[in-house]
Structure 1
Amino acid sequence: MPAGVTTNPAMADAEPTIRFTMRGGQSVVEVGGAWTVFSLRGFRQKAAKALKSAGSGRSAALVDASAVQRLDTAGALEILQLAGDGPHVKVEAADKAHADLFEVVQKNMCAAAPERRVNWFAHWLEEVGRNVVEIYHQLVNLCAFFGEILVVFLEACLQPRRFRASAVVRQMYEVWVRALVIVGVLTFLIGVVIAYQGVQQLRQFGAETFTVEAVGIGMFRELGVLLTAIIVAGRSGSAFTAQIGTMQVNQEVDAMRTIGLNPIEWLVLPRITALVISMPLLTFWGDMTGVLGGAVACTVYLDFTFVQFYDRLRDMVGPWHFYIGMIKAPVFGAVIAIIGCFEGLQVHGSAESVGQLTTKSVVEAIFSVIVLDAIFSIIFLLANV
């Protein structure tokens, strides 16, 4: 039973038509009209319903395209898909150009590739390998950047005028003076927490007076410098990346190179110098406020006076615990500044890259500080300090 579809009978010669018939026991799809990308909008659903109502539930053996007036690639593909077995169906066309077009489309029709099922273990290994390679390249680039900084630093030592003192002072104000409040508050609270926990735990053994040693050694040796470094990494390290990264986006760094100015000397070296100087000062401030917090807590929970607390601290906590923290501080400051400036110079493209690399620089700086702290701990343990 034949069935036809036309979008506009009055313009049947210009609109696509399709019907399903039987010839000699084989199914035939007859098409006519214009089969172009402009005339096929919404036609597929109508054609599918018409073929279904005509009883065409299987692929056609033949496509009769002798009545097609205009044809393009989209129309040829639509006809072959409606026929069911597009790549293998036989096509009859009165126009040789139409026949050639059908032949080209049929040759390029292929089934979609099956979805590749990835083994989770293989996928995990691939991710691990990719991350390892990325870390390796990052370390190589960081080492090269550090070498470039050393060269510029040595050249500046030979020509002291190249040290930009005004820029260093300005950066010290940002990374030291403006960070005093947050470092002081956090280390003070940490000192209170250490003293409180020490009293609660040591009281079970009648040794709560050793809380003074716990606060002093903990703050001087580890927590003071480590907390300060983490705060500086999140505050100043991210600021270095964002500032230099924004200059990269605005092509200010390229402009500096064009006029003969070295970005390492003008942007990186002042920031590293400022942070190397400021970190010991911030660490000292953090140590003092942390010990003060411990003293306040001990006066509340142990009925100590401030004089008793500091007398015991002076007698029981050796100066080397304080020196160890001071030794770590400039190293941590240099690492944070180098990573922050390095990631800032890696910014390319849009402002989105600035945000991504700023986050990356904070994570890398904190991770590096903790790793270095572990290395220092091992070295001092072996040295029995």
Structure 2
Amino acid sequence: MQSGAQHLLEDGGADGGRLVLSGELTLPVIAPLERDLKALAGPVASVDLAGVEEIDTVGAWVVCRFAREHNSEITGASPAAQRLLAAMHEIDAGGDTHPHRLPVWERVPTKLGEHVFNARGGVYGVVGFFGQIILGAGSLLRHPSRFPLKALVHQMELVGVSALPIIGLMSFLIGIVIAQQGSVQLEQFGAEALTVNLVGRITLRELGVLMTAIMVAGRSGSAFAAQIGTMKLTEEIDAMRTIGISPIEVLVIPRILAATFMMILLGFYAAMMAIIGGAVVGQFALGIPFFTFLVRIQEVVPVHDLWVGLIKAPVFGLIVALAGCFHGMQVHGNSEEVGRRTTMAVVSAIFAVIVLDAFFAVFFTEIGWG
């Protein structure tokens, strides 16, 4: 049984007392002694270790630190204790333990340069990944019997059918908000009837497909990255390559096709639900009958507005699926990388969708579909 460490402070007058230590100065039992030594005040001329039965590195460090702080002499140490004390004597724990940090005017440009350099590598990776998809698609065209039809149908169900409730509710509420807020502003000019134009054009051209793409990025894009990343981490993808199965053909292409095709249907569905939400507001707040609102939509919304939304939808779906699958295939190391890559997939997909939406807005305005 360990007896623990004991101490006794003998009064030595003005020259300072003598601290007598005894027992064991080892890691398991030294904590109480260290607290007591920190509480000691006043000069201590010497530290007597003659009664110490056993000492380790931690005990030697505690004794040396106390002796340094009180300018004390260590006496009575055994040969083994003297070797430990000599090793600990030169150690100074008062130094700066924080890493060196550059000033902000150097740190910010350096970090910016690192991000730009890493972005270049990311662009190369995306282009290479897209090339692998093209090669995989070409291989499937040459060998149609290898096409993973069941995987495609399964992914279409997950991306499209399972998303109908949440996308429908979101779009319905967005339509209500647009109609309500738009009517309040148009009322100042006596043009509440133009609320129909506002709801129809903004949902068919922009918000219907844009909000759907953001929802699909958060729902399906993250799922793609997490699923493929987990398979990469557990070496399932390496096992597929070993037995001659292409992960691009079996995992990536079905997800990309499902997201691309289903975004067309989901974008149209979202726009219709938003228009129904606006019609509900028209019925109860604007005095516009529900079916009159819907008929008026057909009269005031140009057909090309519908085509604008339907053209953007598959592009957004392709971007979302590419981001999710690409970041999933980049997972390596540990499980923390799965979460990091999933977050990067969602953020990069949403960012790319918004940038492309701005490009499409300018493009369609230039060709006369504004």
Pick from 66, 70, 90 the counterpart of residue 107 of structure 1.
90
Structure 1 stretch 198-207 or stretch 346-355: which is displaced more?
346-355
**8 Å contact from structure 2 (residues 176, 278) kept in 1:** yes
Structure 1 stretch 180-189 or stretch 114-123: which is displaced more?
114-123
**8 Å contact from structure 1 (residues 92, 99) kept in 2:** no
Counterpart of 1:236 in 2: which secondary structure? helix
Pick from 181, 192, 202 the counterpart of residue 197 of structure 1.
181
Query: 2: CA distance between counterparts of 1:48 and 1:216?
Result: 76
Judging changes above 3 Å, is the alpha-carbon distance between structure 1 residues 180 and 76 closer, same or farther for their aligned structure 2 residues? Answer: closer
Matched, 1:283 2:267: yes
Which residue does the alignment assign to 2:223? 239
Q: Which amino acid aligns with 2:259?
A: L
Counterpart of 2:94 in 1: which secondary structure? coil
Q: Deviations over 1:77-124 (max 9, x none)?
A: 2322232448x8655567555444322221224423276797995698
Query: 2: CA distance between counterparts of 1:307 and 1:27?
Result: 99
Q: Deviations over 1:3-62 (max 9, x none)?
A: xxxxx9xx9xx9765655769x9657465655541664533345566x65xxxx2364x6
Matched, 1:257 2:241: yes
Which residue does the alignment assign to 2:169? 185
Question: Identity over aligned residues, as a percent?
Answer: 39
Query: 2: CA distance between counterparts of 1:211 and 1:94?
Result: 93
Counterpart of 1:108 in 2: which secondary structure? coil
Query: 2: CA distance between counterparts of 1:371 and 1:154?
Result: 29
Query: 1: CA distance between counterparts of 2:164 and 2:53?
Result: 83
Q: Deviations over 1:144-196 (max 9, x none)?
A: 32332222223323333332222112211222222233333332332233233
**8 Å contact from structure 1 (residues 152, 264) kept in 2:** yes
Segments of 5+ residues of structure 2 without an aligned counterpart are none
Which residue does the alignment assign to 1:224? 208
Counterpart of 1:269 in 2: which secondary structure? helix
Q: What is the RMSD computed on CA atoms of the aligned residues?
A: 3.8
Count of matched residue pairs: 366
Which residue does the alignment assign to 1:3? none
Matched, 1:161 2:145: yes
Counterpart of 1:205 in 2: which secondary structure? coil
Matched, 1:209 2:199: no
Deviation for aligned residue 1:218: 0.7
Structure 1 stretch 207-216 or stretch 291-300: which is displaced more?
291-300
Judging changes above 3 Å, is the alpha-carbon distance between structure 1 residues 375 and 66 closer, same or farther for their aligned structure 2 residues? Answer: same
**8 Å contact from structure 1 (residues 16, 39) kept in 2:** no
Structure 1 length-normalised TM: 0.78
Q: Which amino acid aligns with 1:42?
A: P
**8 Å contact from structure 2 (residues 19, 44) kept in 1:** no
Query: 1: CA distance between counterparts of 2:359 and 2:294?
Result: 31
Which residue does the alignment assign to 1:44? 34
Counterpart of 2:90 in 1: which secondary structure? helix
Query: 2: CA distance between counterparts of 1:354 and 1:48?
Result: 47
Matched, 1:378 2:362: yes
Judging changes above 3 Å, is the alpha-carbon distance between structure 1 residues 27 and 168 closer, same or farther for their aligned structure 2 residues? Answer: same
1:17-166 to structure 2, matched below 5 A, reads 19=9, 29=18, 31=20, 33=22, 36-37=25-26, 40=30, 42-46=32-36, 52=41, 57-58=42-43, 60=45, 70-85=54-69, 91=74, 96-113=79-96, 121=104, 125=108, 129=112, 137-166=121-150
Deviation for aligned residue 1:259: 1.7
Query: 2: CA distance between counterparts of 1:335 and 1:179?
Result: 18
Deviation for aligned residue 1:243: 2.6
Deviation for aligned residue 1:306: 5.8
Deviation for aligned residue 1:225: 0.7
Deviation for aligned residue 1:75: 3.1
Judging changes above 3 Å, is the alpha-carbon distance between structure 1 residues 93 and 377 closer, same or farther for their aligned structure 2 residues? Answer: same
Q: Which structure is larger by alpha-carbon Rg, 1 or 2?
A: 1
Judging changes above 3 Å, is the alpha-carbon distance between structure 1 residues 163 and 63 closer, same or farther for their aligned structure 2 residues? Answer: same
Q: Which amino acid aligns with 1:334?
A: L
Query: 1: CA distance between counterparts of 2:72 and 2:135?
Result: 73
Pick from 315, 322, 327 the counterpart of residue 311 of structure 2.
327
Judging changes above 3 Å, is the alpha-carbon distance between structure 1 residues 161 and 67 closer, same or farther for their aligned structure 2 residues? Answer: same
Segments of 5+ residues of structure 1 without an aligned counterpart are 1-7
